[in-house]
Structure 1
Amino acid sequence: MPPPSIAQILQDEILSGALPPGTPLSQADLAMRFGVSRIPIRDALAKLSATGLITASPNRTATVLKMTRDEVIEAYNLRLLLEGDLLARAIPQMTDSHLSAIGYALERSSLEARQSNWAEGDRMFHDAIYAAAGQPRQQAMVNDLRRICCIQIAGYNQLTRNTDRWLTDHQRLTNACRAGNLRRATRILRRHLNGARNHLLREMDRKTTRPA
């Protein structure tokens, strides 16, 4: 297996919270860290910028994406619409193969829940419950939104305080999918996403009002 690229290393560090939202990414510092010229660093930053993980402009230091309160609300509103629609399309089409994939993804997300790569397990689970919808472009949009939300979550160390809650939601979602109960699954999904949004907003507000 080839070694991870510079872009992949930085992406992993952003999604794990090692590089929190608002962290500056100096080309000179990164070139020194990785022992390369600035050209591969610029290429890596361009890839991260294209996926929305960082903000970058020519001749300026890039920074890890830091969302405002309103931007977080907008992202979760879009997720509620898009993911609710995917789930509604998926459940009537689920086969034994889809349910088996959901079960595997549930185990994977549970195993990785308290690890640095928790976001990958979470993505895999949500991809699995929407797969039967057969809407790859819509699912790609959801993944982009989930990725930028994960950056903010990791930056506020939210995961460790809420792991049990969202793992319980994943299990209940799996049970509802197996039962073919769309109404219950939709209710659980909305609670799951609203809970993540509300906790993140509380963390943002707490940090804003915390004395220096």
Structure 2
Amino acid sequence: MQKADLYLQLRDDIRRRRWPAGRALKQQELADFYQTSRIPVRDALARLLAEGWLVSAGKASLMVPPLSAAEALELCLIRSQLEPLALRQALPQLNLAILGAAEDCLNAADAAAHDPLLQGELNWQFHQLLYQPCGMPTLLQLLQQLHLKVAMYLGFQQVQLGYADQSAAEHRALLQHLRQGRHDVALELLQQHIGDAAAALQQHLQHNGG
């Protein structure tokens, strides 16, 4: 298995909760499980640690951090400020080609109903297409880094909470508002979309001791 492939496989397995939170991950155990050597495992773990998917567990081992209701709320607050800003700045540059590409992402996400994690990635691509024309490279970079942090929570949400249908409906509505030039409504819906998703996740985590 190639290094990049192992990184992606480990990341998706974390999102699917194959490796439970709090359990120490050993390089040799992972190498045996994925039938590879320890070197690509070490490199994949280092990348996942740098991106916040893993934390130190002592004695040179790592673990998946538990999902936290407080962190989920913090990430939501950041998203609710930065993503509407990116969309607002992108609005003058949005055209039929961009909106058509965004709709293609939604169609692909609908077709990927069997794979919630792929759905999540396609939904992020939908958002990226809408934000890309904002002309603010630092903001786009921050959003990409934020997405990597949020991805664990979104993956959990897609798989465990069955949030995909509501998310898809809100994406379709957002796209329709943009097509029809209802920009204020679109910005309001985007903020609501982020807040509703976070509220459902936070409530679940609080109920389950997260």
Same topology, TM > 0.5: yes
1:156 CA displacement:
5.9
Deviation at 1:195, TM superposition (A): 0.7
Partner letter of residue 192 of structure 1?
Answer: H
> 1:93 and 1:159, CA in 2 relative to 1: closer, same or farther beyond 3 A?
farther
What's the offset of the Cα at 1:17? 3.9
Q: Distance in 1 between matches of 2:97 and 2:157?
A: 37
Aligned partners of 2:193, 2:131: CA distance in 1, in Å?
15
SS of residue in 1 equivalent to 2:60: coil
Aligned to 2:87: 87
The answer to whether the Cα contact below 8 Å between 2:108 and 2:122 also exists between their aligned partners in 1 is yes
Is 1:130 matched with 2:131? yes
Query: By how many angstroms is 1:61 displaced?
Result: 1.8
Match of 1:169 in 2: 170
* Structure 1 residues 108-150: Cα deviation after superposition (integer angstroms, max 9, x where no partner): 2222245142221111111111122133332232233233323
What amino acid is aligned across from residue 39 of structure 1 in structure 2? Answer: I
The secondary structure found in structure 1 opposite 2:162 is helix
**Alignment match, 1:35:** 35
Paired amino acid for 1:7: Y
Instruction: Give the residue type in structure 1 aligned to 2:94.
Output: M
Identity %: 25
Number of residue pairs aligned between Structure 1 and Structure 2: 208
Give the 3-state SS of the residue equivalent to 1:186 in structure 2. Answer: helix
Corresponding residue number in structure 1 for 2:112: 112
Q: Distance in 1 between matches of 2:33 and 2:53?
A: 20
The one-letter code matched in structure 2 to 1:9 is Q
Shift of 1:192: 0.7
More deviation in 159-168 or 174-183? Answer: 159-168
The answer to whether the Cα contact below 8 Å between 2:24 and 2:57 also exists between their aligned partners in 1 is no
Partner of 1:187: 188
Kept in 2, the 8 Å contact 1:21–1:151? The answer is: no
Q: Show the 5 A alignment for 1:68-87.
A: 68-87=68-87
Partner of 1:150: 151
TM-score with structure 1 length normalisation? 0.85
How far off its partner does 1:12 sit? 2.0
Contact 2:93 / 2:133 at 8 angstroms: preserved in 1?
yes
1:139-178 deviations in whole A, cap 9, x for unaligned? 2322332333231343466555222211110001101111
TM-score (norm 2): 0.86
Give the deviation of 1:74 after TM superposition: 1.1
